[in-house]
Structure 1
Amino acid sequence: MTDHAPDDRAARLRERLADRLENAGLLRSAAWRAALTAVPREVFVPAFFRRGDGPRGTLWTPALPDAEGTDAWLEDVYADETLVTQLDGGVHPGDVDGPVGGEPTSSSTLPGLVVRMLEDLAPKDGARVLEIGTGTGYSTALMCHRLGSDHVTSIEYDPAAAARARTAITSAGYTPRLIHGDGLLGDEEGGPYDHLIATCSVRTIPPAWLRQVTPGGTILTTVSGWLSGSGLARLTVGENGTAEGRFLPGMVSFMIARPHAAPALDDYSDLLRQPSDERPARHDREVFQSWIPLFLAQLAAPGAQGLSTRADGGPWLYHAIDVSSGSFATLTPTSDESGFLVRQGGPHRLWDDIEAAIDAWETAGSPPQTAFTLTVTPTEQTVRLDTPDGPSWTLPTWLPPARRTRTDTLAR
């Protein structure tokens, strides 16, 4: 465990951040407060992108201390916000001179969520933790400060992110075991672990994680999918590839693990032109904009992707498209804009399934996400609504990723 002597400005900002997170109920223990006030986030986020939305769409402007002034830049670093550090799998703030387009592919998660998840994981002194998704290395360093570097292993899939995190973690004085590889495969050599925490989301729990956490240990991960519905689940691992636990409160989402990401929606026009039927929609586009309905839609139609289109200034259309089954559902506003019609085609009526899931939830009194339990067995993974006669949904079948080359770095 390492003590740092940072400049007074950054140290004061860390104390202020800790106070805010304590007041919000996210930081709940002295041990994690000590970690938060010791680890310099600026080492892990030496630059980031600011988002701006305008007539040209979403653009990302690099934010660097030399250009903005150290004090103003540090204020942003110690805000409780997620800071985007990479676009399109390889573009970093120092690579560009001005605003650019792109999709975020790596970030430093807002400290409030990082701390809340570490508190939810609740490792005791001496516990060994496997982290899936090193990212910038900030959360890795927090765990090293709390537990000791020898008790922390972290895996990062992206080679550029892994290299940058390794440099930052070493610069901050910590020496965990760092692996560049596929986190969905876990770490067979280093297990078993007492806890596993994932800072990416998954469509289904990888079997390797279940093997590599001791019975009675904890897996904390976000379960998400191709409609971007998600929930943070805390599972207690059982014997022989089993686990069970509830979803935790709050709106928590992470970028999906790249091997679990949706395939590209290329040419779907023929799929939308196939024979279909139309009816009034009982639940409409609000499904895509409401947290638990979207979570339910994800469970009911796990192979579907969401898409919105507009032609020649006409109304926006909202689609759920399942390429693998050749099924779709399209929401179209009625002529008087008082509601929506849904047109469905293919072998599965996707919107029927989505509406049935939302109906069951509403019939149960629209309970919070904590009313859902995830159960994992060697043959299937199911989410159920814990009410009398509550429905259940099966998560997608696990498809093992191709084994990739990995590099272990013992930074000691």
Structure 2
Amino acid sequence: MGPSGLASALVASGALQPDWLPTFKAVPRELFVPDRIWPGIADGTRQNPMVDRTKAPDGWLTAVYSDIPLTTQWDDGNHTGDGLGKTPSSSSSQPHMVFSMLADLDVKDGHRVLEIGTGTGWNSGLLAHRLGGGNVVSIEFDAAVAKGAMENQRAAGLSPLVIVGDGRRGYTGGAPYDRIIATCSVGEVPHAWVDQTLTGGLIVTPWGTLYGGEAIARLTVDGGTASGRFTRSSAFMRLRQQRPNRPPHDAYLKGQAWPADGERSTTTLSPVEVGGWVEQFAIGLQMSGAFWSVERYDDGTYTLWTYSTDTLSWASTDYEPGAESFEVVQSGPRRLWDETEAAYLWWEGHGRPGFDRFGLSVDSDGERAWLDSPDHPVPAVS
């Protein structure tokens, strides 16, 4: 698939709106992609082997004009090998998501835009072509990534202002903005973004819970507050300063063999049922300070481990294909599987809502997720 094929697919899907089509054609993705890339798949569940443009130019170009994300850096630049690193830390986002978020942003001529997370420079390059370089500011924490983005943009004849800095703080030198867009996810919307956006302006950002699940929040700013619904599922790299600190498994059983001091029970709720992206999101909204991991076995069974961030509580839930009940072990002051069940049943009892029924409100006191209306906050499990 070349640029015209990708454009046709994006237009057909509704992601690429007619007002963005001239910019798509004028600012080709290939000018913003380095020689070495790791093609992914749209849902982020798998990473393919590295493709080197100097060795496989056709494969590289095919990847660039496929509707997939492309990892361009691992481990904050500390991984330099051909294989996969531990954590992807910079990328060229999936084109469908890029243009869907730009549609959410709803820019107009003359708007000033702040982007959080420059990456390869393609997204802010698209904005600069549409609005003019003088109306676009982009912040990138990694100086090497920012340098590469600026080189890409200059080669494309584009000149947004690229700042090396902490994206949480925004950039007061260019404020106020009509629009702020983040190309990294957050677990908490920095209030500086709200303060630097004009009343009536928009903030578009991926937002996710510690437990899991993520969606695009589209927030309208009104003075010192911002509120709005989630528009679609997403899976972005986390803002570096908000990366979660998840203690290792060994911090929980305190050197004892499983089940240690855990209490046994059974459940009819399959661990599979709580593993979907929207299910994780709904559970995470209700279960603060909790996360999970999976331990898989050769026979197709697995254990879902749930942990509290304070290392005081844990739960294990064993999955067997075809089983009607599943063994649970829980330890600590929080009964984490009981909380998971309660959160799942709340979601199920409200009609299994998708991301677009949830919303987020942000003010000086923090932020609150809600269902259908700000008057209906999502409750914490107890």
Fold-level similarity (TM above 0.5): yes
Q: Which residue of 2 aligns with 1:244?
A: 227
Query: Structure 1 residues 51, 192: closer, same or farther in 2, change over 3 A?
Result: closer
- Selected match of 1:265 from 233, 247, 256: 247
Deviation at 1:337, TM superposition (A): 3.8
Counting only pairs closer than 5 Å after superposition, residues 40-189 of structure 1 correspond to structure 2 as 40-50=28-38, 61-69=49-57, 71-90=58-77, 95-96=80-81, 98-189=82-173
2:345 match: secondary structure:
helix
- Selected match of 1:392 from 372, 378, 381: 378
| Residues 228 and 359, structure 2, Cα contact 8 Å, conserved in 1 | yes
1:231 corresponds to 2:215? yes
| Residues 316 and 332, structure 1, Cα contact 8 Å, conserved in 2 | yes
Deviation at 1:390, TM superposition (A): 5.1
1:189-231 CA deviation, whole Å, 9 max, x = no partner? 2211111111111111111111011111101111113333111
Deviation at 1:52, TM superposition (A): 9.3
1:189 match: secondary structure:
helix
The amino acid across from 1:366 in the alignment is R
- Selected match of 1:355 from 316, 341, 357: 341
Aligned equivalents of 2:321, 2:132: Cα separation in 1: 63
Where in structure 1 do 4 or more consecutive aligned residues deviate above 6 Å?
Answer: 311-314
Query: Structure 1 residues 315, 79: closer, same or farther in 2, change over 3 A?
Result: closer
Q: Which residue of 2 aligns with 1:7?
A: none
1:218 corresponds to 2:202? yes
Q: Which residue of 2 aligns with 1:294?
A: 280
2:66 match: secondary structure:
coil
1:277 corresponds to 2:263? yes
1:380 corresponds to 2:363? no
Gaps of 5+ in 2: none
1:210 match: secondary structure:
helix
Aligned equivalents of 1:86, 1:326: Cα separation in 2: 35
Deviation at 1:339, TM superposition (A): 3.1
Aligned equivalents of 1:173, 1:112: Cα separation in 2: 24
Q: Which residue of 1 aligns with 2:174?
A: 190
Deviation at 1:393, TM superposition (A): 4.2
1:339-389 CA deviation, whole Å, 9 max, x = no partner? 323322222222323322221221222222211121122113111222799
The amino acid across from 2:38 in the alignment is R
The amino acid across from 2:245 in the alignment is P
1:253 match: secondary structure:
coil
Query: Structure 1 residues 387, 116: closer, same or farther in 2, change over 3 A?
Result: closer
Aligned equivalents of 2:354, 2:295: Cα separation in 1: 31
Gaps of 5+ in 1: 1-11, 395-412
Query: Structure 1 residues 314, 38: closer, same or farther in 2, change over 3 A?
Result: closer
Q: Which residue of 1 aligns with 2:183?
A: 199
Q: How well do the aligned residues superpose, as a CA RMSD in angstroms?
A: 2.7
| Residues 373 and 384, structure 1, Cα contact 8 Å, conserved in 2 | yes
1:390-412 CA deviation, whole Å, 9 max, x = no partner? 55147xxxxxxxxxxxxxxxxxx
Aligned equivalents of 2:56, 2:203: Cα separation in 1: 40
Most deviating of 122-131 and 314-323 = 314-323
1:27 corresponds to 2:27? no
Deviation at 1:313, TM superposition (A): 7.7
1:202 match: secondary structure:
coil
Most deviating of 261-270 and 179-188 = 261-270
Aligned equivalents of 1:313, 1:320: Cα separation in 2: 22
Aligned equivalents of 1:335, 1:358: Cα separation in 2: 20
Per the normalisation by structure 1, the TM-score is 0.82
Aligned equivalents of 2:175, 2:284: Cα separation in 1: 32
Aligned equivalents of 1:355, 1:380: Cα separation in 2: 27
| Identical columns (%) | 38
Q: Which residue of 1 aligns with 2:308?
A: 322
